[in-house]
């Protein structure tokens, strides 16, 4: 015989379990819901007949004229290249700084100073991207023009600097966790063997924390790829592959060219389209592309964190 009280306990335990289960399920439902929605709005274009759109042109043509009256064209190559350019440039700037800051924070400073620095870095992470865009317009862009003596105008470097600043806090805080996870006994063992602090950092800490650090970088990349407002305001918004001049020669000043990213295109154009139009659908296809990119990046980061990457 189960007593009344015991029955009540079982019942409440069951209902709490169910509740938690529903919460977990709902997260999955939301993710799938979003994917479903984006795919549903975008995919019909791929199978539509009598349209100027084709997947080949989408990926390999640079001609993006979705609003042309006579001849609409939907080539997203320049946008893809724009996103890649700005993201990679941002990482080239951000990774060394973030790594330096991470090592400094966790190994070379202590006490109050370190706590203060961490708070400042977290504040940096809390700045809305529109404010970053604003800073890019009014501070960084004039600075770039002055320092590099380039023509007035917004450019890829400007956007990359902003993305770097935005991605750095997340990389530093996750990177610091990765270094903190390395046991102190490693540090002491290395130093007891006569290593200097730098030798200890480069030969023991970084190899030991490499998975966590890689994950930090990947999450930074994910942050940069998905960022919209900041780059929309800062990169100049010209559909342009920056690496070639009109005559086809390599453009060494590519980072001072104006570019446009995938995200910025959606943000700028979706409001003007009519629902269900080809233009509307192609923007959702760009959304599908972005989703896939960030999905792959996050999945890789996840696998890296779990250390599934085979060690030798």
Partner 1 sequence: MHDSPPKIKVEQFSSWYGDKPVHKEISFHVRANEVLGIIGPAQSGKTTLLRAINRTLELTAGARSTGTIQVDGEDVRWVANVYELRRKIGMVAPLPVGLPLTIYDNVAFAPRCAGLSRKSDLDALVEKCLRQAALWDEVKDRLDSLGTKLSGGQQQRLTIARALSHQPEILCLDEFSIAIDPVTTMRIEEVLKELRKDITIILVTNLTQQARRLADRTMFLWNGEIIQLDRSEVIFSENPGNQKTYDYVHGIFG
Contacts of 77 (CB under 8 A, 6+ apart): 59, 60, 61, 62, 241
Q: Give the interface size with partner 1 as a residue count (CB under 8 A).
A: 21
CA separation, residue 85 to residues 70, 92, 95, 114, 170 (Å): 31, 11, 15, 34, 21
Q: Which is nearer to partner 1, 249 or 311 (CB)?
A: 311
Pick the closest to residue 153 from 261, 83, 256 (CA basis).
256
When binding is defined by CB under 8 A, the residue of 56, 126, 192, 310 that contacts partner 1 is 192
| Site mask for partner 1 (CB under 8 A), range 94-113, x = bound | ----------------x---
Q: Which of residues 11-30 bind partner 1 (CB under 8 A)?
A: none
Tell me the DSSP string of 176-202. Answer: HHHHHTS-HHHHHHHHHTT--HHHHII
Structure-token match 């977290």, residue found? 122
Q: Minimal distance in Å, beta carbon 213 to partner 1?
A: 13
Q: Minimal distance in Å, beta carbon 268 to partner 1?
A: 48
When binding is defined by CB under 8 A, the residue of 35, 38, 125, 191 that contacts partner 1 is 191
Q: Which two tokens stand for residue 275?
A: 């629902």
Q: Minimal distance in Å, beta carbon 201 to partner 1?
A: 12
Would you tell me how many other CB atoms lie within 10 Å of the CB of residue 204?
18
| Site mask for partner 1 (CB under 8 A), range 46-75, x = bound | ------------------------------
Structure-token match 């700084």, residue found? 97
Q: Minimal distance in Å, beta carbon 98 to partner 1?
A: 22
Q: Minimal distance in Å, beta carbon 188 to partner 1?
A: 5
Q: Does 304 bind partner 1 (CB under 8 A)?
A: no
3-state helix, strand, coil in the chain (%, to 5): 75, 5, 25
Beta strand residue intervals within the chain, DSSP E: 64-65, 73-74
Q: Does 181 bind partner 1 (CB under 8 A)?
A: no
Q: Which two tokens stand for residue 103?
A: 């090592």
Q: Minimal distance in Å, beta carbon 29 to partner 1?
A: 41
Q: Does 312 bind partner 1 (CB under 8 A)?
A: yes
**Main-chain phi, psi angles of 74, to 5 degrees:** -125, 55
| Site mask for partner 1 (CB under 8 A), range 193-212, x = bound | xxxx--x---xx--xx----
Q: Does 128 bind partner 1 (CB under 8 A)?
A: no
DSSP reduced 3-state for 280: helix
Bridge partner list, 64: 74
DSSP reduced 3-state for 65: strand
Q: Which is nearer to partner 1, 24 or 110 (CB)?
A: 110
Q: Which is nearer to partner 1, 102 or 211 (CB)?
A: 211
Q: Minimal distance in Å, beta carbon 105 to partner 1?
A: 15
Q: Does 311 bind partner 1 (CB under 8 A)?
A: yes
Interacting residue ranges for partner 1, rule: CB under 8 A:
110, 183, 185-196, 199, 203-204, 207-208, 311-312
């Amino acid at each position: 015989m189960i007593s009344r009280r015991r029955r009540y306990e079982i019942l409440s335990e069951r209902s709490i379990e169910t509740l938690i289960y529903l919460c977990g399920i709902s997260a999955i439902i939301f993710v799938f819901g979003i994917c479903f929605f984006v795919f549903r709005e975008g995919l019909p274009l791929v199978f539509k007949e009598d349209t100027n759109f084709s997947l080949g042109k989408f990926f390999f043509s640079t001609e993006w004229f979705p609003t042309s009256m006579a001849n609409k064209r939907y080539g997203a190559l320049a946008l893809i290249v724009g996103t890649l350019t700005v993201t990679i440039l941002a990482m080239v700037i951000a990774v060394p700084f973030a790594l330096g800051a991470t090592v400094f924070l966790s190994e070379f400073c202590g006490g109050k100073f370190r706590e203060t620095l961490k708070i400042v870095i977290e504040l940096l992470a809390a700045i809305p991207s529109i404010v970053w865009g604003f800073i890019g317009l009014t501070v960084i862009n004039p600075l770039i023009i002055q320092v590099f003596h380039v023509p007035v105008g917004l450019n890829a470097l400007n956007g990359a600097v902003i993305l770097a600043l935005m991605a750095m806090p997340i990389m530093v805080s996750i990177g610091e966790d990765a270094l903190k996870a390395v046991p102190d006994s490693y540090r002491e063992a290395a130093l007891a063997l006569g290593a200097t602090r730098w030798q200890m950092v480069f030969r023991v800490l970084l190899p030991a924390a490499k998975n966590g650090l890689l994950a930090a970088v990947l999450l930074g990349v994910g942050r940069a790829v998905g960022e919209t407002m900041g780059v929309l305001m800062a990169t100049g918004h010209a559909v342009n592959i920056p690496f070639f001049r009109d005559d086809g020669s390599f453009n060494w000043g590519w980072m001072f060219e104006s570019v446009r990213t995938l995200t910025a295109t959606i943000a700028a154009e979706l409001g003007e389209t009519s629902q269900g139009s080809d233009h509307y659908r192609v923007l959702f296809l760009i959304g599908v592309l972005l989703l896939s990119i960030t999905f792959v990046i996050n999945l890789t980061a996840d696998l890296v964190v779990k250390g599934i990457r085979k060690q030798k």
